[in-house]
Amino acid sequence: MPALSPPQFRVPIIECHRPAASCRPRHTPPAARFGQYVRPAMNGSAATEWRPDPLLTIDDVAAWLGKPKNTLYAWHSRGKGPRAIRVGNTLRYRRSEVERWLDDHTDAER
């Protein structure tokens, strides 16, 4: 009897609604988007291990959106902009929340 192999899972390809020049895969880590150094995992675990959504600093989000940090602080104080998490006296943003906010504020196709 032949040995059974584990099922193969495929990740669906998500079509981007932005122009091709500005379209990046959604799974690109934020540090790679901004050209920062990415530290290797301390335990050297496999890439298939679940990891929490990375928290972005206000500098990361400001660079991503092309807005000054003061605008993000103003949006946060007025309850606008992407949802933020207060960690001590700093703001952190979940990458998924920023992407969700961008999707919610994207013009409909014309």
Q: What is the pLDDT of residue 6?
A: 56
Q: Answer whether 29's CB lies under 8 Å from 54's CB.
A: yes
**Residue count of the chain:** 110
Phi and psi of 98, rounded to 5°?
Answer: -65, -45
Residue 88 is assigned to a structural domain of this protein: yes
The structure's pTM equals: 0.53
Residue ranges in the chain assigned as alpha helix (H): 30-33, 58-65, 69-78, 95-104
Q: What is the pLDDT of residue 76?
A: 93
**CATH code: domain of residue 92:** 3.90.105
Q: What is the pLDDT of residue 105?
A: 86
**Residue 71 belongs to domain spanning:** 53-110
Instruction: Give the SS3 label for residue 21.
Output: helix
Instruction: Give the SS3 label for residue 67.
Output: coil
User: Would you write out the chain's pLDDT as a tens digit for each of its 110 residues?
Assistant: 555 555 554 545 555 555 555 555 555 555 555 555 556 666 655 556 777 778 999 999 999 999 999 999 999 999 999 999 999 999 999 999 999 999 998 887 76
The domain tally of the chain equals 1
